[in-house]
Structure 1
Amino acid sequence: MKRSHLPLNGLRAFEAAARHLSFTGAGLELRVTQAAVSHQVKGLEEVLGVRLFRRLPHGLALSEEGEALLPVLSDAFNRIGVTLDRFEGGRFHDIVTVGVVGTFASGWLIPRLPVFHQAYPDIELRISTNNNRVNLAADGLDFAIRFGDGSWQGTDNTPLMPGSFSPACAPDIAARLRDPSDLARETLLCSYREDEWLRWFEAAGRHCPPIKGIVFDSSVTMANAAVQGAGVALLPVSMFSRELRSAELVQPFGCTVDVGKYWLSARRRRQNSHAMTIFADWLKAETAALRSQPDHGR
């Protein structure tokens, strides 16, 4: 059997009927009659030489061969649809999908997206946020921006900017803090990275008290809790410059500690598209410009 002889209408009719388990439902979706769907599926079965459905008194059930064919066709038609969606207004819009740790997304990337879109209007960025746990291949991502030490298996990782952490809290709490040792009387909010407060107290030259505060999986959520007076958060302060400028949060001590970096992560041995290269180069240039500022991290 030559692949060129496969009936495209039959494949489309089968895929829709298999999802609905109904020729009638497939006909409504494809805007043809139930009889037309049945005829197209029968033609496909004749070409393949197998039965794709078991006809039941009250509907359809997939045969073993039909169950094998359905996911392949669904994926193929979905990929065709996604590609066709990229043609709009007579131009091809390239797409870059990026999974971003929420802190970097809200504190750095999102405020700069209008600048990127103005410079590259034909590139559509698709942003999904996460709590730093991401799988590029499984999640269908071109890139990930995440925080850590850069040692993620199967990926190439480029450092973007350091994560300089320092305590931050509501103004009324900051007003009673004179020395880092005063933090022992406060509720200390912390992330799932358990050693961050210990490392900050070491940098400040003070003993670290027992950490018994609330544990968060997101610095954004932890910062929101700190704004509302739940305690003192240890935050990457460069990601919360807006809250610090508005005095929703106060950084009571100048001491900071680097506990990791933000990285641009890509699958190893994958060739970048032109749009991916543009985005990566733009991101690296913008973060380099920020790092060069004298007050970066404060």
Structure 2
Amino acid sequence: MLNLPPRISSRLNSSQFANLHTFLVAARHLSFARAAQELCLTASAVSHRISRLETALNMKLFQRLTRQVSLTDEGERIFEILQNAMGELSEALEQSSQAEVAGSIALYVRPSVAQCWLVPRLADFVERYPLVSLDLRVGNDNVDFRTRKIDLALYYANGEFPGLTSHRLMQERLAPVCSPQYAKRHGLLQSPENLRHCTTLHDSLAWDHAAFDAEWRLWAEQHNMLQALPKRTLTFDRSDLSVTAAINHAGIAIGRQQLVQTRVNRGELILPFADFSVCGHYDYYLVHPPLSTLPKRLLVFMNWLKECALQSSSVDQRDPVIN
């Protein structure tokens, strides 16, 4: 419900609700021009609607700069109230008469997590919740929830998400992985000193602002192996690509246990030096805008993801690591 303070709600009439919707779109884009495109209006019409709303509410909602606009403190507050109200309304409208979980979820995921962990598990979710449509989008950038219609993001990160709500889904551990053939060819089994003769494979975008060799350095520092790191490298912008290269004997990669354990269990990869022993400061997080009430479809999906994470962890602990 739109729970505006009495002094505001008393100034609203039916004509102002269109202006409130215009404000909501403009605040999401932080652009009158982009709001005009979405609403099929002119930028001038958007500006006039918001001016009328500001007059009715007796408050300034936007700071108008030369080439952009930003929300005032009052504008941020009203924007948050409207977002919550629209979320609750959408949830109420999407429920069927039998109260079945239904609707759509737009999920943003890092490419490697989608490829190696999430997508192979989706059949179970589809079977359980046939009325929920999942729109899966991937990318290496942090999504802007304000301008993109994304409900939930799954990140590999350090847990710092200013202004957003986050839940740690599962922990991650790291270790070098390569094909059995590559390990034999380079004499790597239990001989990390031979690493200097190899090609290291890197995910150059492991996390925000990471150096191209950040994961390898994290492992090497904890094992006092910095001097053994070779100069010959191949870099990718996705962890799964570096692992695919390792499976095909191109070098040795840093494997994230949640993403490569299945490959290890199959014997496609081995851990030539040790188990997944390095715990960094980076784990998997579910992230969404702060909302007073989450839609039921989003709650069941998040709970399903947490169930998958628990199952994944129990399998990792039960299955032997092949060396």
Q: CA deviation at 1:69?
A: 5.3
The correspondence for 1:102, drawn from 87, 104, 111, is 111
In 2, Cα distance between equivalents of 1:69 and 1:144: 27
Q: In the TM superposition, what whole-angstrom CA distance separates every residue of 1:174-213 from its partner, at most 9, and x where no partner exists? A: 1121312211110111222333212212333434434531
Task: Please tell me whether residue 137 in structure 1 is matched to residue 146 in structure 2.
Answer: yes
- Structure 1 segment 117-136 matched on structure 2, within 5 A: 117-131=126-140, 133-136=142-145
- State whether residues 169 and 226 of structure 1, in contact with CA within 8 Å, keep that contact through their aligned partners in structure 2: yes
In 1, Cα distance between equivalents of 2:320 and 2:284: 13
Task: Please tell me whether residue 248 in structure 1 is matched to residue 260 in structure 2.
Answer: no
3-state SS, counterpart of residue 271 of structure 1: coil
Q: CA deviation at 1:93?
A: 4.1
- Structure 1 segment 175-254 matched on structure 2, within 5 A: 175=184, 176-178=187-189, 179-192=191-204, 193=210, 194-210=213-229, 212=231, 213-254=233-274
3-state SS, counterpart of residue 173 of structure 2: strand
The correspondence for 2:309, drawn from 277, 287, 290, is 287
* TM-score w.r.t. length of structure 2: 0.61
Q: Percent identity?
A: 24
- State whether residues 195 and 229 of structure 2, in contact with CA within 8 Å, keep that contact through their aligned partners in structure 1: no
- State whether residues 220 and 226 of structure 2, in contact with CA within 8 Å, keep that contact through their aligned partners in structure 1: yes
Task: Please tell me whether residue 258 in structure 1 is matched to residue 225 in structure 2.
Answer: no
Q: In terms of mean alpha carbon deviation, does 191-200 or 153-162 score higher?
A: 191-200
- State whether residues 98 and 126 of structure 1, in contact with CA within 8 Å, keep that contact through their aligned partners in structure 2: yes
- State whether residues 102 and 297 of structure 2, in contact with CA within 8 Å, keep that contact through their aligned partners in structure 1: no
Q: CA deviation at 1:233?
A: 0.6
Q: CA deviation at 1:297?
A: 10
Amino acid in structure 1 at the alignment position of 2:257: V
Q: In the TM superposition, what whole-angstrom CA distance separates every residue of 1:236-276 from its partner, at most 9, and x where no partner exists? A: 03312333233332222224312210111111236321101
In 1, Cα distance between equivalents of 2:103 and 2:162: 28
In 1, Cα distance between equivalents of 2:102 and 2:166: 26
In 2, Cα distance between equivalents of 1:158 and 1:177: 38
In 1, Cα distance between equivalents of 2:164 and 2:135: 20
In 2, Cα distance between equivalents of 1:204 and 1:254: 10
Unaligned runs of 5+ in 1: 7-65, 75-82
Q: In the TM superposition, what whole-angstrom CA distance separates every residue of 1:69-100 from its partner, at most 9, and x where no partner exists? A: 553138xxxxxxxx9xx899xx9940011111
Q: CA deviation at 1:67?
A: 10
Amino acid in structure 1 at the alignment position of 2:238: S
1:157–1:87 CA distance, 2 compared to 1 (3 A): closer
Task: Please tell me whether residue 278 in structure 1 is matched to residue 276 in structure 2.
Answer: no
1:71–1:103 CA distance, 2 compared to 1 (3 A): closer
Q: In terms of mean alpha carbon deviation, does 158-167 or 194-203 score higher?
A: 194-203
When the two structures are aligned, how many residues end up with a matched partner? 229
Computing the radius of gyration over CA atoms, which structure comes out larger, 1 or 2? 1
Alignment root-mean-square deviation, CA: 3.4
Flag the structure with higher strand content. Answer: 1
In 2, Cα distance between equivalents of 1:216 and 1:297: 29
1:228–1:162 CA distance, 2 compared to 1 (3 A): same
The correspondence for 2:40, drawn from 60, 64, 73, is 73
